[in-house]
Amino acid sequence: MRSSSSSFRARIAAALLASAATVGALLTAAAPAAHAADTPLRDLGAAKGKVIGTAVTGSKLTGTYGDIAGTQFGSLTPGNAMKWGSVEPTQGTFNWAEADQIVAFAQAHNQQVRGHTLVWHSQNPGWLTNGSWTSAQLSTLLQNHIDTEVGRYKGRIAAWDVVNEPFNEDGTYRSTLWYNGLGADYIATALTRARAADPAAKLYINDYNVEGVNAKSTALYNLVKSLKERGVPIDGVGLQAHLILGQVPSTLQQNIQRFADLGVDVAITELDIRMTLPSDSTKLAQQKADYKAVTAACVAVARCVNFTVWGFTDSDSWVESTFPGQGAATPYDANYAPKPAYYGISEALGGTTTPPPTGACTAAYSVGSQWNTGFTGNVTISCSGASLSSWRVSWTYGAGQQITQAWNATCTQSGAAVSCQNASYNGTVPDGGSVSFGFNASWSGSNPVPTVTLG
């Protein structure tokens, strides 16, 4: 079929034109990713007095990941880059590269940074955890670490998670390097030292499973109360909020309020809501309701000042590697399309929803190769948050194109009207999956890309 008379150069030119047309067709027919018209979460949050944040990985802050991180969020938390094990892997040898990069990105995008985290039992360098230290040595190590790290970023960090995860589930203190070596007052020591190193930074204690009223959150409450009574600097509590689908604590708002009433700020610091994989439209709808409920609880309490998700995309989440079979915990899918959860946050912040929040299937038409009399076309049907057991795709040719042959579908053409339906073996398009079919057609004059309808 290919005409040997068409020059190689002409065919290259036609192929380039065809690929330009392909891009246009994909953008219009497949639409789900951008929603550029929606107000960014950071602007919706600002109107409610909330800073909306995300944890980030420094090396990923380019391309689509960087665009979303920079436009949707008003606060960044380094997911790992500021932990002791990251910044001082060998005693006295520092690596600030990723932390510096995130802070610079935040400054360039007019974002706050939540520093995470200074004093923790996990992700400490081996030299620290494997050493044997006297109490005096441990105290010096702790204070020097805070002086060095907080001092380095002085004036550039809105809030520090000074102490991370100090409690057991029953509200007793967790047995850690710090607690065992220094007693519970390691917490007051760290806070006091951090205040001295950067008086402008808000100082937080951060923990998980403290979102509802329970033994652990009550221990945190009593600690904050006593620190305030003693005059130890404490500005806020971080509720991490690593939640499970359908299990937002009913006492979340009440719990936020009781901390606010103590005279400290509250932040949702690490929100994600995991589900058993695979996701489907029912689970994604529940997840939207859960994200909306957590956001609404923060909106309802003036002192809930920051609402941060622990990674904004399912491709950058700790969940799947930690909980086998669980995942899909963040507001964007792994291809950076906003999930219903994104719209749950948006709606609770007063935003309006543009696309169907429960998912859809779409068809995208593209021209593959094109020569002087003919071309090869492709249609891909993709589903996200929905599925199909059979399909039919139709379009109308605007310039006399005529289908001559199709594969992986049965196509009929009557005048300009084309209708293609699934073959016996490819009617099923699962949630998150896609099916393609192809065809050859003739053209002359021009070959405009038609608008396709999936029905």
Residue of 88, 270, 320, 347 with catalytic role: 270
Least distance to ligand G2I from the beta carbon of 22, Å?
A: 36
Q: Is 79 in the site for ligand G2I (CB under 6 A)?
A: yes
Question: Helix (H, G, I), strand (E, B), or coil: what is residue 156?
Answer: coil
79/344 with CB nearer ligand G2I: 79
Q: Is 318 in the site for ligand G2I (CB under 6 A)?
A: yes
270/290 with CB nearer ligand G2I: 270
DSSP 8-state symbol, 123: S
Least distance to ligand G2I from the beta carbon of 421, Å?
A: 46
238/357 with CB nearer ligand G2I: 238
Binding ligand G2I (rule: CB under 6 A), the pick from 98, 265, 270, 431 is 270
Binding ligand G2I (rule: CB under 6 A), the pick from 39, 80, 214, 315 is 80
Q: Is 313 in the site for ligand G2I (CB under 6 A)?
A: no
123/144 with CB nearer ligand G2I: 123
Q: Which 393-452 positions form the footprint of ligand G2I (CB under 6 A)?
A: none
Least distance to ligand G2I from the beta carbon of 72, Å?
A: 19
Q: Is 122 in the site for ligand G2I (CB under 6 A)?
A: yes
Beta-strand runs (E) in 111-222: 112-119, 159-164, 202-207
Binding ligand G2I (rule: CB under 6 A), the pick from 123, 250, 412, 451 is 123
Q: Is 95 in the site for ligand G2I (CB under 6 A)?
A: no
Q: Is 326 in the site for ligand G2I (CB under 6 A)?
A: no
- How far apart, in whole angstroms, are the C-alpha atoms of residue 244 and residue 247? 5
Least distance to ligand G2I from the beta carbon of 420, Å?
A: 45
Give the CA distances from residue 216 to residues 160, 170, 234, 239, 244, in Å, rounded to whole numbers and listed in that order.
21, 6, 18, 11, 18
- Tokens standing for 66? 């960087």
Residues paired with 442 in a beta bridge:
374, 402
Q: With beta carbons less than 8 A apart as the criterion, state whether 291 and 273 touch.
A: yes
Gap between the terminal Cα atoms of the chain: 32
Residues paired with 402 in a beta bridge:
442
Question: DSSP secondary structure string, 11-57?
Answer: HHHHHHHHHHHHHHHHHHHH-TT--TTSPPHHHHHHHTT-EEEEEE-
Residues paired with 20 in a beta bridge:
none
270 is catalytic: yes
- Tokens standing for 91? 């005693």
Q: Is 240 in the site for ligand G2I (CB under 6 A)?
A: yes
Q: How many alpha carbons fall within 13 Å on the CB side of residue 283?
A: 18
88/347 with CB nearer ligand G2I: 88
Least distance to ligand G2I from the beta carbon of 209, Å?
A: 11
Question: DSSP secondary structure string, 257-299?
Answer: HHHHHTT-EEEEEEEEEEEESSP-HHHHHHHHHHHHHHHHHHH
57/421 with CB nearer ligand G2I: 57
Residues 6+ away with beta carbon under 8 Å from 16: none
32/311 with CB nearer ligand G2I: 311
Residue length of the chain: 455
Least distance to ligand G2I from the beta carbon of 353, Å?
A: 29
Binding mask 142-171 for ligand G2I (x = CB under 6 A): ----------------------x-------
Least distance to ligand G2I from the beta carbon of 436, Å?
A: 35
User: Applying CB under 6 A, which residues contact ligand G2I?
Assistant: 79-80, 122-123, 164, 208, 240, 270, 318
Catalytic residues: 270
